[in-house]
Amino acid sequence: MSYSIFQSGRSRRNGTFHHLESGIEEQIEALRDELAELTRLVGKNSRHQSEKLRSQASAGFEELLGRSEDLLRELQHGYERGATEMRETVRNHPLATIGAAAALGLAIAFLARR
């Protein structure tokens, strides 16, 4: 008789453990599903952020390219103006230009000896 009392107690405990075990398994499965959803959302958000950053970088690059082209044009115009002024100065003052070139040559030769 005592054997049957212990047996029924074990079956109740096994039933409780089984119930606990199945509840834990359900919670684990729910956590897996939530983790999969979270992973999907993070991936989607990452793709969205990378596309946003890519478009910002592209816009910044286009702006930088436009500014550099403008700067290059300004430098070319400045060089052309300087070259034109130099030619006019040489045409208007040929002897002074030759004297300045000779003085510069002597100064370079003097510095090169040292």
For the chain, the maximum distance between any two Cα atoms, rounded to a whole number of angstroms, is 136
- The answer to whether residue 26 sits within a structural domain is yes
**pTM over the 0.85 mark:** no
What is the extent of the structural domain holding 45?
15-110
Residue 90 neighbours by CB under 8 Å, 6+ apart: 97
Tally of residues, the chain:
114
Tokens at 34, concatenated: 């939530």
Domain count, the chain: 1
CA atoms within 13 A on the CB side of 84: 6
DSSP 8-state class, residue 33: H
- 4 domain residue, yes or no: no
Residue type for position 26? E
**In a structure prediction context, what are the per-residue pLDDT tens digits for the chain, which is 114 residues long?**
444 444 444 445 566 777 778 888 889 999 999 999 998 888 888 888 888 888 999 999 999 999 999 999 999 999 999 999 999 999 999 999 999 999 999 999 999 987
